[in-house]
A and B are shown apart, each in its own frame.
Chain A
Amino acid sequence: MAASLSNASVKFGNFTALSDISLEIGAGEFWTILGPSGCGKSTMLRLVSDLVPPATGTVEILGKTTEAARLAREFAFVFQDATLLPWRSALKNVELPLEMGRKRGIQIPRGDRTPMELLELVGLSGREDALPHELSGGMRQRVAIARALVCQPKLLLMDEPFGALDEMTRDRLNMQLLEIWKETGVTCLFVTHSIPEAVLLGQKVLMLRAHPGRVKEVVEIDLPEPRHVKLRETPEFNRYSSYLRRSLEDC
């Protein structure tokens, strides 16, 4: 199991953000997370990534506590905006995880790929010296993905990473992400607002219910691999989409 949550809940003061979440996320799987606004999708990623502690229950990553997994760099996080450091070049931003955490004395794992090769993997070779403001929104997000991969994590947590991008860029990055997922074998947990994106990317779609945030259902997406954007025009795809839309409506 890449991650397993059992009866986990998150409270902010008196407010229950997530309640009684139990999930088993298998190694190498691609999960997308859907749900109405405020249902705790982001909080769930933050729970898994040791940013917020569980109030009750347990969260384990590869059989370790979330803290141990964080110190071992077992997971990486991609935020909605790229959160690149504006004074660092693309390459220097990708190298950031290799420089941080040394003072804590943690062993920083180095992936098989160098930061330069990772920039090539996300299609940014030749732009390694560019500063973030010289790159487009899609390029910045690709740098962020390369940065997330630099320590070769087993689990990739993505919080609406393509939410702010235009449709065409989003399609291209979705396909690129699927290729990276296939090539690296990383487990993905991908939060999105978009039903088509959730169906296109996910092997499993986790539907959350709001007030308090809890699991509504897990929908297995049985579509042929490798996935392609053309898949969206097929009747099966539309069947999944309309099912999820109905499910989202009565959340």
Chain B
Amino acid sequence: MAVIENLPETTKVETTKVETAEAETNTPAQVPSLLPQRLTNVAVPVCTAIVLLLVWQFGVRFFEVPTYIAPAPTDVGAVLREDFPLLMRNFWPTFTVSVVGFFAGNIAAILIAVTFVHSRAMERAFFPMAVFVNTIPILAIAPILVLIFGPGFTAKVMIAGLICFFPTLVNMVRGLQAVSPQTLELARILSASKSEVFWKIRLPSSLPFLFSALKIAATTCVIGAIVSEWIGADVGLGALIIDSTFNYRSPLLYATVFMSSGLSVLLFVSVTITEKLVVRW
């Protein structure tokens, strides 16, 4: 016993000493290299973007490409500045359609997911139909909805909502079912009712799934809104895209595209921030 106790302990102490000595010499060398690493992470994509813009600017000028075919970044910048009121006048209708469509489509998807999870019969009856509707391209379904509901707000919201619907439905069904069998056994031992299981277990555990779907929906609802404005609308970023294309106002077209992607980013960031506040686990 005594031999066993003595021998390894002395060697152990020595090895740990060596390790700490190494660690001490290593850390100061690593610290200064960390800060430039972070800077590079930001600098590389920013520099790439600047270089690409410069190539675009000088390429267009050097080859004397007409503005109506491809405007230079400075032309687009000038339109963004000068026509800002016009852009904003068209931004807000698209914003409204996107946001209302986002809520309408997602709330419908959540409610239908809840009925699917509670009734196998409903799921069997309606899920294939949901898949079928999802396979129709939004460009093909948009005119049909405009014919049915007229070229007003309702049809636009329907189109923006429809494009959000399917990803949320699928994710929400998965999320509501993503409860471990043991957790359900716990609920049974506690004699929990169906509604208690739903509100206290199923719904909270579906939230991470819901938010990944909402992130998809935040960008696609803008696509839906813009497509809806292509058909018989006179305001909105979609209408402005059509208008500026047919009038060869390319700088305005580019500026409008820039505004639409800005709208997508705005909605995406809002969903991401909400997720951070809600899903804390």
Instruction: Please give the residue numbers on chain A whose beta carbons come within 8 Å of chain B beta carbons, in ascending order.
Output: 46, 49-51, 70-71, 73, 75-77, 79-81, 83, 85-87, 96-97, 99-104, 106, 131-133
- Say whether A70 contacts B191, CB under 8 Å: yes
9 residue pairs, one from A and one from B, having the closest CB atoms:
A103-B193, A100-B190, A86-B281, A101-B191, A100-B192, A79-B182, A83-B182, A87-B281, A87-B204
- Say whether B195 contacts A51, CB under 8 Å: no
- Say whether B204 contacts A70, CB under 8 Å: no
Given contacts A77-B186, A97-B190, 12 further A-B pairs with CB under 8 A are A50-B189, A71-B191, A73-B190, A77-B185, A79-B185, A79-B186, A83-B180, A85-B200, A87-B207, A100-B192, A131-B281, A133-B281
A178 → B minimal CB distance (Å): 24
Chain B residues near A80 (CB-CB < 8 A) = 182
Q: List 30 A-B contacts (CB under 8 A).
A: A49-B189, A51-B189, A70-B189, A71-B191, A73-B190, A75-B189, A81-B180, A83-B180, A85-B183, A85-B200, A85-B205, A87-B207, A87-B280, A87-B281, A96-B190, A97-B190, A99-B196, A99-B200, A100-B187, A100-B192, A101-B191, A101-B193, A103-B195, A103-B196, A104-B191, A104-B192, A106-B191, A131-B281, A132-B281, A133-B281
B61 CB-CB contact with A under 8 Å: no
A39 → B minimal CB distance (Å): 20
Select which of B200, B204, B205, B281 is within 8 A of A100 by beta carbon.
B200
Classify the secondary structure of A's interface with B. loop
Instruction: Please give the residue numbers on chain B whose beta carbons come within 8 Å of chain A beta carbons, in ascending order.
Output: 180, 182-183, 185-193, 195-196, 200-201, 204-205, 207, 279-281
B173 → A minimal CB distance (Å): 20
Chain A residues near B201 (CB-CB < 8 A) = 85
Chain A residues near B196 (CB-CB < 8 A) = 99-103
B158 → A minimal CB distance (Å): 34
Chain B residues near A132 (CB-CB < 8 A) = 281
Distance in angstroms between the alpha carbons of A159 and B151 in the assembled complex: 63
Classify the secondary structure of B's interface with A. helix
B197's nearest neighbour on chain A, judged by CB, is A100
A108 → B minimal CB distance (Å): 9
Distance in angstroms between the alpha carbons of A81 and B185 in the assembled complex: 12
Chain B residues near A87 (CB-CB < 8 A) = 204-205, 207, 279-281
Distance in angstroms between the alpha carbons of A132 and B205 in the assembled complex: 14
Chain A residues near B190 (CB-CB < 8 A) = 73, 96-97, 100-101
A3 → B minimal CB distance (Å): 15
B79 → A minimal CB distance (Å): 48
A150 → B minimal CB distance (Å): 10
Chain B residues near A77 (CB-CB < 8 A) = 185-186, 189
Distance in angstroms between the alpha carbons of A133 and B279 in the assembled complex: 13
B109 → A minimal CB distance (Å): 22
B192's nearest neighbour on chain A, judged by CB, is A100
Distance in angstroms between the alpha carbons of A81 and B186 in the assembled complex: 12
B190's nearest neighbour on chain A, judged by CB, is A100
A137 → B minimal CB distance (Å): 15
- Say whether B187 contacts A85, CB under 8 Å: no
- Say whether A83 contacts B189, CB under 8 Å: no
B274 → A minimal CB distance (Å): 15
Chain A residues near B189 (CB-CB < 8 A) = 49-51, 70, 75-77
